[in-house]
Structure 1
Amino acid sequence: MRKFLLLLYLFPCIPALAQDTARYKGMTVNLDEHVVKAKRIGFDVNGFIKRVEEDTTFYRAFKNLRLINFTSDNDIRVTDKKGGKTIASLKSRTKQIMSGNCRKMEVLEEKTTGNFYNRKGDYNYYTAELYANLFFTKGTVCDDGGGTDKGSLARHKSQLKQLIFNPGKPISGVPVVGNKVAIFDRNLMRFYDFSITSENFTGTDCYVFSAVMRKNLSGIDRAEIVYDELITYFNKETMEIVGRKYSLSYKTLVFDFNVRMNVQMTKLDDLLLPALITYDGTWNVPFKKRETAVFTAKFFDFAK
Structure 2
Amino acid sequence: MKKILLAFGFLLFAFSLKAQQIQRYNPDTIRTITIDTPVANIRSHKLNAQDFIDAVVADTSFYKAFQNMKRYTFTAENRIFTYDKKNKVNGKVYRKLIHSNEKGAHKITYVAKQDTGTVYKKNGKYQLYTVEMFDYIFMNAYNSDFVKGDALPGDSKGKNESYKAKLKQLIFTPGRKISGIPFLSSKTEIFGPDMRQFYRYEFARGTYVDSIPVYRFKVIKKPSTADGDVMIKELTTIFDARTFQILGRYVDMKYSNMLFDFDVQMNIELNNFNGELLPIKITYQGNWDIPFHKEERASFLIVHKDYKKE
Note whether the superposition's TM-score is higher than 0.5.
yes
Larger radius of gyration: 1
Give matches, 1:1-304, under 5 Å. 2=2, 3-9=4-10, 12-13=34-35, 15=37, 32-33=40-41, 35-39=42-46, 43=47, 46-83=50-87, 85-137=88-140, 144-145=147-148, 151-203=158-210, 204-218=212-226, 222-304=227-309
Aligned CA distance change for structure 1 residues 103 and 238 (closer, same or farther; 3 Å)? same
Quote the Cα distance in structure 2 between the aligned partners of 1:231 and 1:300.
Answer: 24
Kept in 2, the 8 Å contact 1:14–1:199? The answer is yes
Quote the Cα distance in structure 2 between the aligned partners of 1:48 and 1:94.
Answer: 36
Kept in 2, the 8 Å contact 1:71–1:300? The answer is yes
Quote the Cα distance in structure 2 between the aligned partners of 1:115 and 1:80.
Answer: 10
Bigger Cα displacement from structure 2, 289-298 vs 171-180: 171-180
Quote the Cα distance in structure 2 between the aligned partners of 1:103 and 1:299.
Answer: 16
- Give the secondary structure class of the aligned counterpart of 2:108: strand
Percent same amino acid at aligned positions?
30
**Structure 1 position 241, deviation (Å):** 1.3
Quote the Cα distance in structure 2 between the aligned partners of 1:149 and 1:108.
Answer: 33
Kept in 2, the 8 Å contact 1:104–1:141? The answer is no
Q: Deviations over 1:154-190 (max 9, x none)?
A: 2222112211111101112222112211111111011
Quote the Cα distance in structure 1 between the aligned partners of 2:246 and 2:89.
Answer: 33
- Give the secondary structure class of the aligned counterpart of 1:89: strand
Aligned CA distance change for structure 1 residues 149 and 172 (closer, same or farther; 3 Å)? closer
**Structure 1 position 224, deviation (Å):** 2.7
- Give the secondary structure class of the aligned counterpart of 1:63: helix
Aligned CA distance change for structure 1 residues 197 and 290 (closer, same or farther; 3 Å)? same
Aligned CA distance change for structure 1 residues 240 and 256 (closer, same or farther; 3 Å)? same
Kept in 1, the 8 Å contact 2:101–2:107? The answer is yes
Residue type of the partner of 1:214? K
Aligned CA distance change for structure 1 residues 48 and 193 (closer, same or farther; 3 Å)? closer
Aligned CA distance change for structure 1 residues 139 and 38 (closer, same or farther; 3 Å)? closer
Kept in 2, the 8 Å contact 1:103–1:141? The answer is no
- Give the secondary structure class of the aligned counterpart of 2:186: coil
Residue type of the partner of 2:134? Y
- Give the secondary structure class of the aligned counterpart of 2:267: strand
Kept in 1, the 8 Å contact 2:91–2:115? The answer is yes
- Give the secondary structure class of the aligned counterpart of 1:9: helix
- Calculate the TM-score normalised by the size of structure 1: 0.83
Quote the Cα distance in structure 2 between the aligned partners of 1:176 and 1:95.
Answer: 41
Flag structure 2 segments of 5+ consecutive residues without an equivalent. Answer: 13-33
Residue type of the partner of 1:53? V
Kept in 2, the 8 Å contact 1:10–1:134? The answer is no
- Calculate the TM-score normalised by the size of structure 2: 0.82
Query: Relative contact order: is structure 1 or structure 2 higher (C-alpha 8 Å, sep ≥ 6)?
Result: 2
Quote the Cα distance in structure 2 between the aligned partners of 1:160 and 1:62.
Answer: 15
**Structure 1 position 121, deviation (Å):** 2.4
Kept in 1, the 8 Å contact 2:53–2:191? The answer is no
Kept in 1, the 8 Å contact 2:69–2:142? The answer is no
Quote the Cα distance in structure 2 between the aligned partners of 1:279 and 1:177.
Answer: 21
